[in-house]
Amino acid sequence: MRLSVFTQPWFDDGNIVLITTSDPTAFRVHRGVLARHSEVFESMFLVPQPTEAVETYDGCQVVRMWDSPLELANLIIALYDGAKFSNEKLEDFYHVAGILRLATKYFISKLRLEAIEYLTQTWSYTLKGHDDMVEAALRAPLVDGLSYPWVHPLHVLNLAKEANVRIIIPSAVYFLSLYTLEDLLRGDHPKLTKVEHPSRPSSVLSPSDIKDYTMMFQKRLDLILDFVRSFCGTRTPSTSCSRVQACTQEFKRLTSRLSRSWVTRTGPLHYMSQAVSDLMVNSRGPCDACRRAFVQDVTALREKTWNELPSLLGLPSWEEMIAMELHG
């Protein structure tokens, strides 16, 4: 059998050789390093192997691997040198995806946790993290023709399902609901097709996820309409208002502006923040007491909306998922 040998990782003093079955590639590593980090490898090496049945390569025992050479190489490098994650282009997400996938498969808890923590920096479990992601998306220039965060939320969702990482699912589905179902079923968005990569997750929206997508899509539109028609449209001045009639008219004008400014792809959480900004920068707006009350109420509404996202998808609360997946 002809083998490709990666320049790295190949350690001359290694005592075991991992060989991938697809595009056969050899990696010479140290048994103790694998066993130290991986429960699967630790258990595997505890089982005695009959001498006559042991396959060898370059004088070392061979272990056959069913993983892609690139993913396995990245995993081994991360075990020896530590994981290095970044978010400058689409391929960076695929790098994280490959490490998360194999860290989950081989029960490498430290690397799995590091990958999950890195993903939550973009696909956040906090409202502030969500806001930071949206602001970054609005400011960041295109990279290779793709907008920040470069990766499509469908790839994030499918990776989360594959690796059983629930804490990033609500954020992924929320942003997924900004796309039309027709676009998702067609699966031809550049973020889904532009880069071929062995770690690229599935680009297919599963039947079970169509239900979650539909629930989030409808919830998102309901939130916008309720915010415009009820929260703003029926708003009355603060009990401390100094000019009731003028402030009542200002809230009516705000409602009118909001009703004309949203589209099907509007995100309600950012939309609510924009309403606050609109009111605060308007020199002819409501009095200070009415402004403060409005900001306080919108802040509470956004927090309530954010906290309800997991239950909409049948998931545990943010606090429960943090405890299980980040502190477990």
Report which of 182, 276, 178 is spatially closest to residue 227, judged by C-alpha positions.
276
pLDDT of residue 200: 97
Please give the distance of CA 295 from its chain centroid, rounded to a whole number: 29
Neighbouring C-beta atoms of residue 17, cutoff 10 Å: 21
How many other C-beta atoms lie within 10 A of the C-beta of residue 192? 20
CA–CA separation, 214 and 177 (whole Å): 8
Residue 22 neighbours by CB distance under 10 Å: 11
The confidence score (pLDDT) of residue 209 equals: 96
DSSP 149-198: T-S-HHHHHHHHHHTT-GGGHHHHHHHHTTS-HHHHHHT--HHHHS---T
Check residue 282 and give its pLDDT.
75
Produce one character per residue of 261-286: b if its CB has 16 or more CB atoms within 10 Å, e if not.
ebeeebbbbbbbbebbeebeeeeebb
Query: Model-level pTM greater than 0.85?
Result: yes
Residue 126 backbone dihedrals phi, psi, to 5 degrees: -120, 155
Q: Which residues pair with 65 in a beta bridge?
A: 20
How far is 65 from 55, CA to CA, in rounded Å? 13
Q: Provide the terminal-to-terminal Cα distance of the chain, rounded to the nearest Å.
A: 44
| Res 215: pLDDT | 97
Q: What is the pLDDT along the chain (328 residues), one digit of tens a residue?
A: 455 555 568 999 999 999 999 889 999 999 999 999 999 999 888 877 666 678 888 889 999 999 999 999 999 999 999 999 999 999 999 999 999 999 999 999 999 999 999 999 999 999 999 999 999 999 999 999 999 999 999 999 999 999 999 999 999 999 999 999 999 999 999 999 999 999 999 999 999 999 999 999 999 999 999 999 999 999 999 999 989 999 999 999 999 999 999 999 999 999 999 999 988 887 678 999 999 999 999 999 999 999 999 999 999 999 999 999 998 6
Are 231 and 301 in contact by the 8 Å Cβ rule? The answer is: yes
Specify the residue for token string 């009111």: 279
Residue type (1 letter), 253: R
* Token digits of residue 23: 């595009």
- What are the DSSP calls for 1-50, one per residue? ---EE-SSS--TT-SEEEEESSS-EEEEE-HHHHHHH-HHHHHHHHS---
Mutual orientation of helices 69-81 and 90-105 as an angle, nearest 10°?
Answer: 80
Query: How many Å apart are CA 293 and CA 280, to the nearest integer?
Result: 12
For 309-325, give the DSSP string: HHHHTTPPPHHHHHHHH
Measured between alpha carbons, how far is residue 18 from residues 166, 210, 235, 298 in Å?
A: 31, 39, 67, 56
In the prediction, which pLDDT does 1 show?
Answer: 47
- Count of alpha carbons within 13 Å of 57, Cβ hemisphere only? 21
